[in-house]
Amino acid sequence: MRRPLIGITTYHRDASGGRSRFHVPTAYVDAVRGAGGLPVLLPPGETRPAELLDVVAGLVLCGGGDIDPAQFGGPADHEAQYSTCSERDAFELDLVCEALGRGTPTLAICRGMQILNVSLGGALHVHLPDVVGESVAHRVSREQHAYHAVRLAPDSQLAVLLGGQDVRVASWHHQAVARLGAGLRAVAWAEDGTIEAVELAGRPEVVAVQWHPELQFAEPDARQRRLFEDLVERARSVARQA
């Protein structure tokens, strides 16, 4: 059976080292391949995302730099902001709206969950420690992730998928959901109350988590692997119907 094409968004343009490039951490690609999908990278800048979604059967909205607070009416110029990119914001907001419109299976990770929330009219905390303090380490630094506990709503799709209500997650963010977008429901929380996952009413093909399951793909209990396997299986069904 042919592997379904899974689109993976990339980071913004990076001009460091004298050569401009698009890139994405290899863990996203490895996780999609490991789950049985055929990964293809979707760099920002495309003005007709519908053409991309005509080709792929599933979508991973990956993490990366901050969303510009102008996109959700947040305060500008916070000292902790980094790597904002209007080109990437515009592309991903258009892409996720198009994906929602056609029912494309989507796994939204970290920034990806924030993009989903903003696309539906939600807002973000621009720097989470300002709101909840640092009792939970949501990241160690911009260069190093952390691990912490998350509690899942027992009646959530995510709890069924992960096989329980308590999980340990790889965390690497400093922005987070402040106000939920239309139709979204919080289904997971850190111990400090930070929203760690959301579900969209009536849309089981959309899975959105604030943590980084790609960094835990190879863990022995395989719980985070199931997020990618679910995406690929749903994408395979879409590809069969095409």
Active site residues: 110, 212, 214
Q: Count the helix, strand and coil residues of the chain and give each as a percent rounded to the nearest 5.
A: 30, 25, 45
How many other C-beta atoms are found inside a 10 Å radius of the C-beta of residue 132?
16
Measured CA to CA, the distance from residue 86 to residue 70 in angstroms comes to: 10
Task: State how far Cα 7 lies from the chain centre.
Answer: 13
Q: How far is CA 18 from CA 23, 24, 192, 202, in A?
A: 15, 18, 42, 47
CA-nearest of 100, 96, 119, 83 to 11 is 83
How many CB atoms are located within 10 Å of the residue 164 CB?
A: 11
End-to-end Cα separation, the chain, in angstroms: 14
Dihedral pair phi/psi, residue 229, rounded to 5°: -65, -40
Tokens representing residue 228 in the block: 């990618």
Mode of pairing for the β-strands spanning 58-61 and 176-179: unpaired
Whose CA is closest to 180, among 157, 214, 208, 159? 208
